A and B are shown apart, each in its own frame.
Chain A
Amino acid sequence: MHLWAFGLSALRSATTGGRRYHVWMGTLTLIMLVGAYAYSLQLRHGLGVTGLSDHVSWGLYISNFTFLVGLAAAAMMLVLPAYILHDVDFSRAVLMAEAVAVSALVMCLSFVVVDIGNPLGGWHLLPGIGYLNWPRSLLAWDVLVLNGYLAINLAIPFYILYSRYCGRAPDKRKYLPWMYLAVMWAVSIHLVTAFLLAGLPARPFWNTALLGPRFLASAFTAGPAFVILLLSFIKRETSYPIAEGAFTKLALITTVAAQINFVMLGSELFYKFYSPTLHGINARYLFFGVHGHHALVPWIWTAIGLGAAATLALMIHPIRRNPRYLAIACAALFVGIWVEKGIGLVVPGFVPSPLGELVEYTPSLVELGVTAGIWALGMFVLTVLVRVALPIELGQVRSPYLDDTPAAPIVRPRSSRVAARDTGPVRTR
């Protein structure tokens, strides 16, 4: 009964809102439709409609996948201080972080699905009727850990929100062990994804022990940066109380992680360029271009420029404490790492090929369309999740089957545009 009501009020929360909200969701839906059309073309004609080739067999899709796994992992890692160290400042941010993790995972899995050439054969992965080559294949590991992680990240917030919705305090003994597991799992999904690439001696560009740690460091930069952007938006637009302390801490985490990320990038560059070997040709292609081919050079230097500038800016306290500058720096970091760890990591692994043939890669329109569609899907999921979670967390929405009078909202919304209808309990009958 409560569950049914929960579903209905979630649906209501997600579908009601001001004009800007509807425009936002409408735009996302439009982009998703474009993406769906692009994907239908790909389904009909095969991956030939992408810019991929036998030489560069992974491209934009897998690039986004590796980046988003990082986002999913990092968002969850923020849970650690909040629930385990009882850091109150943080606990508000955590629910948002979980929403980010879930939407990032939805995008990850979508990117894997669209990258597959024979998606109808997906059932071959199912143990029992299919054959999952576990534990030998790192991709089988990734399938397991990503889906497991998604399940955990859906279950924990659902339990917490549902308990609140039913007017109970969530029982720590019930969810804390899963929280611990989720935190460890977060590290594992990102390491597994790094190992997926690092475990291939065929590709010296990825075949480095530093890849795993680098993935973690860059994820810890991009993840909190994204959460900061999201929280500052929520803070600006809704009544959800987010303490300044949360921003301070998140900004600190971002800054330290960005510094570590740069140290690691520097080590990588030193290793590749101080005594250049033939194996360093992929790095040479990425940073300087080889034999007149340099499609990625402007991208990687822009990314490094953005990252370096943002890291330097964040190291200056007044800048970091200014919400406006903080947001700009975080956006720069996010974009920088998206390039560095996405296209800038996946594509150079294939250029030149292991036999030294140099074929460059440019994504096609269809590929861009599908990618945009999946990002829109992710943003859509994120918006819905936040939209559903906020009123429950604020106590604005509670089960109509509760005997007690509905709790008053903690704080009146500052902006009636967004939260106009969220002021009272939602009756489902």
Chain B
Amino acid sequence: MSDARLTDPAVDAADATLLQKRVDRRRALGILLGGAAVATQAAAACSPVAPLSDEEREVKLLAWREYIKGNYRFMTEAERAETIARLERIAKVKRGVDVRIQSTGAQPGVEFGYAFNISKCKGFRSCVQACINENNLDRRAATQYIRIFEMENGVVDLEEADATFQHEVPAEGHFYMGTQCFQCANPPCVKVCPVGATWQEPDGITVIDYDWCIGCRYCMAACPYWARRFNWSEPEVPVDQLNPNQHYLGNRARKTGVVEKCTFCIHRTRQGRLPACAEACPTGARVFGNLLDPDSEIRWVLANKKVFRLKEDLNTEPRFWYFTD
């Protein structure tokens, strides 16, 4: 299991050396342009046409600072804290909500794995419901990270499966198979990103910096599991349905024109909790745990059950296994 990890130490080292230079340059640029922005805003404030309130001016300035910030992956801890403070403030001023955005890093010695019991899943879609609410998914576009496919017994073929079933389940003679992001160890989506806005964290979660993504959607074309979603329009989550417990790399507010994906509920799992889908599942079909811990439940399943992975021939090394009773 541990032979196919694709952490690229050479690339990371090179990135690290470039880091300081890049940060300095960007900071200089930021100060320069930021000053200009303040000046323009001051001018705009003086003009009689559209006087900005203090809050509007503050949000504009915050938005500008957000615009010139760097890639989260290369930020220092201080920069991370700053951007999070800005994002929390923007949420407060613009929407009147107190969100708490974590930047919790990966735990050492942890690599997440997931197993899905196709004998147990009954197609209730409780996981989907929990996922939507937990991850602040766009309600207007009805975005869903998880797909549950209804398949006829005897055939494991996604072409013939139906994910749009809406009848009493489980249906006679059918079984159910769920898909979501498989957090591949060899992720095709990561290497194609032209700006490095998506990467694999040390605990195996592939994340996106929504503010660094340019929205080219190459990763969506590259994913063999159709795990990525795009914000075609401004995502909408009613304030009273907003989950304030957020992570910078996870369920915080997304914007128009960027890609998002399942992160195994990074804001929960990095605190030792289960992903929302695994916890909400009423059938116990979902097993989640640390692949590096030989005494974990996921390792027990891999050792004691007959497992398979989807499209294993593509060498993506998903961290998501299917098993049967």
Contact = CB atoms under 8 A, between A and B. Distances in A.
Interface of A: 45-48, 50, 52-55, 57-58, 112, 115-122, 124-125, 128-133, 136-140, 143, 196-197, 199-203, 278, 281, 349-350, 352-357
Q: In this complex, which of B196, B223, B315 has the most chain A Cβ atoms within 10 angstroms of its Cβ? A: B196
Contact of A116 (B158, B214, B223, B311): B214
Contacts of B274: none
B220 A125 contact: no
A137 B218 contact: yes
B163 interface: yes
Contacts of B259: 117
A54 B233 contact: no
A119 B232 CA distance: 14
A44 to B, nearest CB: 9
A121 B221 CA distance: 20
Which interface residue of B11, B71, B222, B229 has the most chain A CB atoms within 10 A?
Answer: B222
B292 interface: no
Interface SS majority for chain B: loop
Contact of B159 (A120, A137, A352): A352
Contact of A118 (B11, B141, B220, B258): B258
B195 A117 contact: no
Contacts, number: 159
B226 A129 contact: no
Interface in B191-229: 191-197, 211-218, 220-226, 228-229
18 contacts: A45-B234, A46-B234, A47-B233, A115-B216, A117-B215, A118-B214, A118-B258, A130-B195, A133-B196, A136-B191, A137-B218, A139-B194, A197-B221, A199-B192, A203-B221, A354-B226, A355-B226, A356-B157
Given A137-B218, A202-B188, A356-B160, A53 B196 contact: no
Given A138-B192, A356-B159, A200 B222 contact: yes
Contact of A355 (B11, B158, B258): B158
Interface in B137-194: 141, 143, 147, 149, 157-161, 163, 179, 188, 191-194
Nearest to A117: B215
A137 B224 contact: no
Nearest to B149: A355
A121 B194 contact: no
B243 to A, nearest CB: 22
Contacts of B273: none
A353 to B, nearest CB: 5
A136 B15 CA distance: 14
A137 B214 CA distance: 14
Given A131-B195, A137-B192, A124 B256 contact: no
Contact of B314 (A133, A136, A201): A201
A381 B189 CA distance: 36
B29 interface: yes
Contacts of A281: 159
B95 interface: no
B213 A121 contact: yes
B290 interface: no
Interface residues of B, number: 57
Interface string B251-267: 00001111100000000
B214 A122 contact: yes
Contacts of B211: 121
Given A129-B26, A355-B226, A356-B161, A48 B221 contact: no
Lowest 3 CB-CB distances: which A-B pairs, in order? A117-B215, A117-B257, A48-B233
A357 B233 contact: no
A202 B223 contact: yes
B221 A54 contact: no
A139 B192 contact: yes
A128 B159 contact: no
A133 B146 CA distance: 29
A132 B159 contact: no
B6 to A, nearest CB: 11
B22 interface: yes
A136 B218 CA distance: 13
B67 interface: yes
A137 B158 contact: no
Interface string B65-96: 00100010010000000000000000000000
B233 A129 contact: no
Contacts of A119: 214-215
B289 to A, nearest CB: 25
A128 B256 CA distance: 26
A202 B22 contact: no
A140 B315 CA distance: 23
A50 B228 CA distance: 18
A121 B25 contact: no
Nearest to B192: A137
Interface in B112-149: 141, 143, 147, 149
A64 to B, nearest CB: 15
A97 B71 CA distance: 41
Interface string B31-64: 0000000000000000000000000000000000
B214 A132 contact: no
A363 B255 CA distance: 23
